[in-house]
Amino acid sequence: MVKNVSFKEARDGEADCLNCSLRESVLFAELKEEDFEQLHDPIDQYTLPAGSTLYHAGDKGDRMYTVRSGTLKLVQYLPDGSQRIVRLIRSTDITGLECIVGETYQHDAIVLQETEVCALPVRVVEELSKENPALYRELLNRWQRALNEADAWLTELSTGSAKQRVARLLLRLVRNTQESQCNLFAREDMGAMLGITTETASRTIAEFKRQSLLVETSPNQFLLDIPNLHRTAED
Amino acid sequence: MVKNVSFKEARDGEADCLNCSLRESVLFAELKEEDFEQLHDPIDQYTLPAGSTLYHAGDKGDRMYTVRSGTLKLVQYLPDGSQRIVRLIRSTDITGLECIVGETYQHDAIVLQETEVCALPVRVVEELSKENPALYRELLNRWQRALNEADAWLTELSTGSAKQRVARLLLRLVRNTQESQCNLFAREDMGAMLGITTETASRTIAEFKRQSLLVETSPNQFLLDIPNLHRTAED
DNA sequence: CGCGACATTGAGTTTATTCAAATACGGTGG
DNA sequence: CCACCGTATTTGAATAAACTCAATGTCGCG
């Protein structure tokens, strides 16, 4: 377990949304220059180290977050203390949307790989979306995207044998990328994503390596044999 | 397998939204009388028999549905043809929200118990929500509710042993009700909800009956021993 | 009554889990 | 630079759980 770093201390500064390098893929994609002038409250930007927590389940937050780079896991806990990872949040994703409907955060959001986020105060998003049907629309889109993702995790990652689940997870990690390269998560996290034990995750990855479905090109960089992984994912 | 009934033929007539008996729990809860006057397109109402299909995954729909009574399952299929039920839709729930963001339906929506729905054309909802922040807000709420439900299915219903999952499903069926009575689904559907086989679902229910965690008071009416089911759900 | 659909049960097999041990890895301090 | 420590991963062996395939039982309906 890595120590928790308070991310308040990690504030990097104010974001320049108008000239944001991710502008076209971000919540504010459709805003015009004059809209940004309404942004009196500055958008803060943070860099969070692996192992730190962006927010906790149950917290009453007033900010949602756009991820500029890195990876977060959204975790829920069962009464017996076991954890389940319900989603991954990656570059250009938004997390913490729920606070716009007044709910507390529904998960622990924990950094897996060093992550840069922009914090968007609910108040700012609400004001802007009042005037901007496009932003409103984009909010709905984001919600639907999260829902599709949740359904896919259930259908693809929590159904079938351990081998199938691991294969599907790996394939999912390289979708929408040219590279068939990716780095893997700790086996414990894999287990928590797939609803299997750490040992089973480890055994499965080890077997994939032996079958060359997976080749470690450099430390924690894996090249995937996508066609054969597809085969493994289906039967 | 029950034959599919085209629900076009089942149209019961026009709904009277203003005087709807479910008014306070429904998407249109916050609308005022004058808003309803803008409703030039009538809201159609249908009754669907068990086994019929409300919509199919991939269809480009222009209507979402409020469920007045009954139960639907939302089903997704894996490439190998196996099915997974990702959510249940019950009284006062809305399904098919995704068509408001222009997506095709993401699931097959299949009736488990005779169901009454009102069909809300996207165009109507869009127009009303333009003028009504409350309706807009309610839409976001509904989306978030679906997302919470999806996460809960992953955390509660797809994690742990078969016994735990079945127990959690049963408990979920009587939440928000006074009665600790419920009727059960076909074992095959239970399996598809929990990510287990039909036989395992059957064996587990049979065992619960023997342990009196479950008593059949009348055909397919079961009385639950909630405290002991809670115990079973946790260890 | 008999058919068909569904539910239950059984036996054998496979798969995943548990618990324990051994190994690799990264980082720290001597 | 190396020894050492803690942590994560891998592997092993025994056990338990779930799956498969087949048979039997049950219920409702024509």
Per-residue pLDDT of chain B (235 residues; tens, 9 = 90+): 333 444 555 667 788 888 888 887 778 888 888 888 777 777 899 999 999 999 999 999 999 999 999 999 999 999 888 899 999 999 999 999 999 999 999 999 999 999 999 999 999 999 888 888 888 899 999 999 999 999 999 999 999 999 999 999 999 999 988 889 999 999 999 999 999 999 999 999 999 999 999 999 999 999 999 999 999 999 8
Q: Among B41, B32, B19, B30, which residue's Cα sits nearest to residue B120?
A: B41
CA distance B84 to B96: 18
Q: Which nucleotide is closest to the Cα of A188 by its C1'?
A: D8
Taking 50 as the pLDDT cut, the residues of chain A under it are 1-6
CATH topology of domain B7-151: Jelly Rolls (2.60.120)
Looking at chain B, which residues constitute the CATH 2.60.120.10 domain(s)?
7-151
CATH C-level class of B162-234? mainly alpha
Residue A197 CA and nucleotide C16 C1' are separated, in Å, by 8
Please tell me the predicted confidence (pLDDT) of residue B118.
94
What pLDDT score was predicted for residue A139? 92
Residues in chain A whose beta carbon is closer than 8 A to a beta carbon of chain B? Answer: 76, 78-80, 82, 84, 86-87, 97-98, 100-101, 103, 106-107, 130, 133, 136-137, 139-141, 143-144, 146-148, 150-151, 153-156, 158-160, 195, 233-235
Nucleotide nearest to A203 (CA to C1'): D10
Instruction: For residue A115, give the DSSP letter.
Output: E
- Name the minimum distance, in Å, from the CA of A207 to any CA of chain B: 23
Query: Which residue places its CA closest to the C1' of nucleotide D7?
Result: A1
Find the chain B residues whose C-beta atoms sit closer than 8 A to any C-beta of A: 76, 78-80, 82, 84, 86-87, 97-98, 100-101, 103, 106-107, 130, 133, 136-137, 139-141, 143-144, 146-148, 150-151, 153-156, 158-160, 195, 233-235
Domain with CATH 1.10.10.10 in chain A: 162-234
Q: Which nucleotide is nearest to A186 if distance is taken from CA to C1'? A: D8
> Is the CB of A148 less than 8 angstroms away from the CB of B106?
yes
Asked whether the beta carbons of A194 and A165 are under 8 A apart, the reply is yes
Q: Is B86 left (phi over 0), alpha (psi -120 to 50) or beta?
A: alpha
d(CA B144, CA B158) in angstroms, rounded, equals 20
